[in-house]
Homo-oligomer: A and B are copies of this chain.
Amino acid sequence: MSTERHRTRRRGRSHQGEEGGQALAGQQPWKQPRNRFPPVNVLSEAQLLHIHEASMAILEQVGLEVLNDDARRRMLAAGAEAIPDSLRLRFDRHLIMECLQTVPESFTLHARNPAHNLMIGQDYTSFGCVASAPNASSLDGGRRTGRQSDYRDFLRLAQSFNIIHFLGGYPVEPVDLHPSIRHLDCLADCVTLTDKVFHAYSLGRQRNLDALEIARIGRGISAARLEQEPSLFTIINSNSPLKLDEPMLQGIIEMSARNQVVCLTPFTLAGAMAPVTLAGALAQQNAEALCGIAFTQMVRPGAPAIYGGFTSNVDMRSGAPAFGTPEYLLAAQASGQLARHYRIPFRSSNVSASNAVDAQAAYESTLALWGAMGGGCHLLMHGAGWMEGGLCASFEKLVIDADLLQMLSVYLEGMVVDEQTLALDAVREVGPGGHYFGTAHTMARYKDAFYTPLVSDWRNFESWNEAGRPDACQRANRLYKQVLQDYQPPALDDAIAEALADFVARRKAEGGVATDY
């Protein structure tokens, strides 16, 4: 009995009311923002249909290479056409479009803390932490290869900032953990250091299965219930152009079979892995995305899926990828338009190619967010901390992006227009030439009338100068350290913590996942 009480005692903070980092000035409460403004249609209806037609022609005439026997068998059984002496399949447009009919327009993605569940679809949007960077950087620590200590600090920040709604993968790759067991340690950390939605890399069948089990244990539910309640998602990148490789196909099979979330994101950089024209790159993206999403429905009709748009371009002089450019902005909004056309939830990203947390990092990110929000994005990957075109996760940029995302959240709220806010009485009271500082209307509202920033510094030049002229990056440096210091792990049932530890220990004892190095 006392053991039972001990085993069900929650560790850390309670789930209710005490969000991480609440003490942080300017921190907003947890909320999933709703994007009520109409999306920006950068394509005319004719242009949209033209791109659709081209992608159907690609699927019907060129097809995709499908590098997994099981997947090929399933596709052929569903009606795909084999091309002799090749691993390539062609897909009739009717087959693809029929499969898309069963993709849910919206669904709930469950977190182990139900307060952090996400609605994916409708007018809800959600913001993720930076993911998959091989390097981490901070102003004083410099740029270094990813390691577990940085990985865990990013998780703590992702948990602490309420505006970061989910983990889209490992914020930074902890290369000090052996690949055979890295996913076990990393995913266990997701469960213990955060209570938000997380992501499983599709890097081989066994890793998917381990991730599914960790998600199940983390929520303390049965396998049957996990299958009713999507609780894990995976990003599937087609190997552009027009290839679906083995681990990605295994990922779709394992995840979709269990009704978990597959986000299909072609990596179509125009001029390199896709045509040098935006329209061509989008047609190819669309063909690849729809093919992969159709496959999720061949595996399990009704399985949740997301349309990922990541089309950008390379600098044709150097081959370097460009992000947060006008082409990126157009492609993001056009991708959102395509996803809406098929009634599939849309994924976009907050991206920048900058090497420094400087003006370039900020304008590229803000342009990318303009693209995402105008595109009606439901799942924003790399929302906070991504730089160098994905090669580095920055602690300071995470904080600056968190400020930006909070601002978007307030923007998306729109404004209240009613008798009280129109304030005619206050206007009459003040009259020409007065000011509103002391009016009853102001006094009743001034405390939370406007957005309070995390990073932005609105002091006048003289005060700022006396304070040592800290720029946004330096202020963010101080903030991320403060948040880490204030961090407390979220509540976790002892029983779940023990089951998780047991599972990880057992799987490690089994050797984790075989690797050839």
Q: Give A residues with C-beta under 8 Å from B.
A: 37-38, 40-43, 46-47, 50-51, 54, 57-58, 61-65, 88, 135, 143, 239, 241-243, 270-280, 283-284, 313, 315-316, 318-322, 325-327, 329-330, 334, 353-367, 370, 374, 388-389, 391-392, 400, 403-404, 407-411, 414-418, 420-424, 426-428, 430-437, 441-442, 445-447, 449-451, 453, 455-461, 464-465, 469, 471-473, 476
Contacts and interface: CB of A to CB of B under 8 A. Distances in A.
26 contacts: A43-B415, A61-B424, A61-B428, A62-B427, A62-B428, A62-B432, A271-B437, A272-B436, A273-B435, A275-B423, A276-B423, A277-B422, A277-B445, A280-B427, A316-B450, A318-B458, A318-B459, A320-B459, A325-B407, A326-B451, A356-B471, A358-B362, A358-B473, A360-B471, A362-B366, A363-B403
Contact of A451 (B37, B325, B363, B464): B325
A7 to B, nearest CB: 46
Contact of A65 (B416, B433, B441, B446): B433
A283 B242 contact: no
Given A276-B446, A330-B415, A355 B50 contact: no
Nearest to A47: B417
A51 B353 contact: no
Nearest to A333: B37
Which residue among A318, A329, A360, A453 has the maximum number of chain B CB atoms within 10 Å of its CB?
A360
A404 B460 CA distance: 25
A423 B427 CA distance: 60
B356 A422 contact: no
Contacts of A432: 62-65, 88, 241-243
Given A242-B431, A276-B441, A313-B450, 6 more contacts: A241-B430, A242-B433, A272-B435, A320-B460, A359-B361, A360-B471
Contact of A280 (B355, B423, B460): B423
Contacts of A241: 427, 430-436
Contacts of A358: 358-359, 362, 471-473
Contacts of A433: 65, 239, 241-243
Contact of A363 (B63, B64, B354, B404): B404
B330 A411 contact: yes
A365 B367 CA distance: 11
Q: How many copies does the complex hold?
A: 2
Nearest to A467: B355
Given A315-B450, A363-B366, A446-B271, A51 B422 contact: yes
Contacts of A278: 415, 421
A396 to B, nearest CB: 9
A435 to B, nearest CB: 6
A315 B43 CA distance: 39
Which residue among A276, A354, A359 has the maximum number of chain B CB atoms within 10 Å of its CB?
A359
B427 A58 contact: yes
Which residue among A239, A422, A437 has the maximum number of chain B CB atoms within 10 Å of its CB?
A422
A181 B407 CA distance: 45
B355 A357 contact: no
Contacts of A277: 415-416, 420-423, 441, 445, 449
Contacts of A404: 363
A202 to B, nearest CB: 19
A316 B446 CA distance: 6
Contacts of A61: 424, 428
Contact of A330 (B283, B414, B442): B414
A281 to B, nearest CB: 8
A40 B365 CA distance: 20
B242 A364 contact: no
Contact of A422 (B272, B283, B426, B458): B283
A359 B473 contact: yes
A515 to B, nearest CB: 24
Contacts of A458: 315, 318, 320-322, 353, 389
Which residue among A42, A46, A88 has the maximum number of chain B CB atoms within 10 Å of its CB?
A42
A334 B461 contact: no
Which residue among A37, A57, A407 has the maximum number of chain B CB atoms within 10 Å of its CB?
A407
Which residue among A242, A358, A465 has the maximum number of chain B CB atoms within 10 Å of its CB?
A358
A388 B279 CA distance: 40
A169 B32 CA distance: 43
